[in-house]
Structure 1
Amino acid sequence: MWGRLFMQLGLLLIFFLVLFLPLIITIIEKNLEVFLFFMGLFAVLISGGMSRALFVKVSLDPIQIAGAVFIAGLLFRWLQRPLEKMIHGFRSLMPFRLFIGLSVFFLGLLSSVITAIIAALVMVVIVTTLQMDRKSEIKFVVLSCFSIGLGAALTPIGEPLATIVVGKLHTSFFFLMELIGPEIIVGLLLFSVLAALVVKRQNRHYLERSRPHRKEGYEEIGVRALKIYFFVMGLEFLGEGFEPLINKYFTSLSPSLLYWINMISAVLDNATLTAAEIGRSMSTPTLKAILLGLLISGGMLIPGNIPNIISAGKLKITSAEWAKIGVPLGLCVMGIFYLWL
């Protein structure tokens, strides 16, 4: 009894540390990936879930994602100038606000094909090419990451959450597109319109003092890939560590309650929560509620999704800056879709 109580209190402490420390301690914020790794390691040790098999699995799983980030970083370094010219070309064909709105929409839509990671890196190139002012830049990044997080779930290749759902339910490649496709398209349109309204055109004064175009060094590319590796490891450890609590207290709850509780995916890996909560016997409304709750809330904080941490790290966006936009936006969109469902 005391052992179980100690475990639960320890896991709750870790949850609140993960939630609040990056917002108030600068050194943790700057080393978020390593911090999440150790928090995840502590969580799985406290819950008693550590095993040799788990450590091997968690060590191997991030290799593909980190490798993709590394290769994409190299490609963007080598192709930066052509990409910038292409973006400028598209930008010159239409008004600024229309370009911003279409960028957010198509980044979300294409992420289901090119993966959420690659979509996030393309978005970073758009940001650095357009050289927006700081406030507009952060708004564009957060809205784009919400869009990417939603759109990537349309196919099993877009992100791990979608892969787990299709594999666990033994369904077809287009299952999620049929299940939550309309809701996702509505979400992409919503984020696109918001981006077109709130992201402002850069002014001449800003352009005079804006950062110069600079190619990323090979060391920076390698360090980012290594950070992503430990970030994914940390998320998997966190998910494994919290699984006893999730299985005991969450999986038996009503769909509408789970919808709101799944906001914890702003901190925990939504793929792990999906694996714990999704079952073949669930009705279509229940599946929709769980998945949309997980997908939308993933954009609220930096740890909620891999695209968030990639773009925040590359563009030096702090946890507080992200939360200031991501949390109220996520809550509003959660409310809209709750009424929709």
Structure 2
Amino acid sequence: MMFSLIIILMLVLFIPFFSNTVARNLEAFLFLMGTATVLISQVYDSTLLIKVFNDPLKITFAVLIAGFIFKWFQTPIKKIILGLSKAMPLRLFLALTVITLGLVSSVITAIIAAIVLVTIVSVLHLDRKSEVRLVVLACYSIGLGAVLTPIGEPLSTIATSKLNEDFFYLLQLIGPNVIPGVILFGLLAAVLIKPSKKINQSFKTHRTESNLDIIIRSFKVYLFVMALTLLGAGFEPFIEKYLLNLSPLVLYWINMISAVLDNATLAAAEISPSMDNSTIQAILLGLLVSGGMLIPGNIPNIIAAGKLSITSIEWARFAVPIGLITMVAYFIVIITIA
């Protein structure tokens, strides 16, 4: 059984990285792999089925409603952004943008926060280097902040569900670490991004999403979380055998592989109710920070980079050094509080 689970784990980790077809249909691929794991582990029962269908409901509903609201009010939102960017120094506006998106992403979801980010970038007349830096720093902030509630992103949905905890569990567990990180990324935006004296009066054009686009995206989120729930349940025997006894500090650095993989996938495979809070904290912080280093590591990265045509090299040139420095900083925090 363990050998089969290891094979599936390798497929989950690497096939999406090498196959464009799988990467474009990641939700369906993970659902098939998740189904295979629960069959191999023989953990399927009525309780799991109920959990699989119920877990994705909150985040899917949040994505659906927020998607329609943003579409309906897109023009007023753009006008508000334009007005605010003119009413204050640009460095202050950039800092507040990164901080605000990070904090509200746990309510409006990381996906909608990324779409708002793209809209803001379309209003500002930044040079390419500054534009990439703003997007990277904001996506780091969104990736951190969205985990504070179960509706913020798939990782937080999966973590809360697997641990059988309440709505505010993650806020209490890693909020004291995450919120200062969100503020720090905002300050970095104010320092590292070159202000421009010009503001784009006409917005950059992006294809307006249709109602069908919003519904399809919501369904993909539902299928994605469903797949991760199956993966988490199926990999439970593997976790108990190989990961539970590892040092939290080792797990923290192992999770740097989430730079090339969606961090929710790894959370589904690694987190277990048998782990203590310090181990869970180390796992989550490692996943959250390293998930911002490369485009495939997190959903906001994929959305923002795709809509703004940011290449992998452009992203990594700035995001990897920032991510490594942040990893070291959080590692020091973990050692200090351990």
User: TM over 0.5: same fold?
Assistant: yes
| Deviations 1:207-262 (CA, angstroms, capped at 9, x unpaired) | 69983366433343344334434444444454455444333211210111111123
C-alpha displacement of 1:57: 4.9
- Match in the other structure for 1:335: 328
SS in structure 1 at match of 2:139: helix
C-alpha displacement of 1:187: 1.0
- Match in the other structure for 2:10: 12
1:1-341 correspondence to structure 2 within 5 Å: 4-18=2-16, 20-21=17-18, 25=20, 31=24, 34-42=25-33, 44-45=35-36, 48-49=40-41, 51=44, 57-58=51-52, 61-130=55-124, 132-159=126-153, 161-162=155-156, 176-201=170-195, 211-212=204-205, 215-266=208-259, 267-270=261-264, 273=267, 276-279=270-273, 282=276, 285-317=278-310, 321-341=314-334
- Classify 1:129/1:216 alpha carbon distance in 2 versus 1 (closer, same or farther; 3 Å): farther
TM-score, length basis structure 2: 0.77
| Deviations 1:100-157 (CA, angstroms, capped at 9, x unpaired) | 1111112112233444344333323322332544443333223212212222333455
Tell me whether 137-146 or 155-164 shows the greater mean CA deviation.
155-164
| Deviations 1:80-108 (CA, angstroms, capped at 9, x unpaired) | 11101111111112121221111111211
SS in structure 2 at match of 1:86: helix
Q: Distance in 2 between matches of 1:156 and 1:4?
A: 30
SS in structure 2 at match of 1:251: coil
| Deviations 1:4-36 (CA, angstroms, capped at 9, x unpaired) | 435423432441223x326xx5x655x2xx135
C-alpha displacement of 1:175: 5.1
C-alpha displacement of 1:71: 2.8
Tell me whether 250-259 or 56-65 shows the greater mean CA deviation.
56-65
Tell me whether 122-131 or 81-90 shows the greater mean CA deviation.
122-131
The percentage of counterpart residues that share the same residue type is: 49
Q: Distance in 1 between matches of 2:100 and 2:243?
A: 34
- Classify 1:133/1:246 alpha carbon distance in 2 versus 1 (closer, same or farther; 3 Å): farther
- One-letter code aligned to 1:86: I
- Classify 1:184/1:328 alpha carbon distance in 2 versus 1 (closer, same or farther; 3 Å): same
Contact 2:148 2:156 in 1 (8 A): yes
SS in structure 2 at match of 1:252: coil
Tell me whether 53-62 or 325-334 shows the greater mean CA deviation.
53-62
- One-letter code aligned to 1:199: I
TM-score, length basis structure 1: 0.77
Contact 2:125 2:200 in 1 (8 A): yes
Contact 1:247 1:276 in 2 (8 A): no
SS in structure 1 at match of 2:246: coil
- Classify 1:166/1:238 alpha carbon distance in 2 versus 1 (closer, same or farther; 3 Å): closer
Contact 2:123 2:203 in 1 (8 A): no
Q: Distance in 2 between matches of 1:155 and 1:250?
A: 25
Aligned pair count reads 330
SS in structure 2 at match of 1:151: helix
C-alpha displacement of 1:319: 5.3
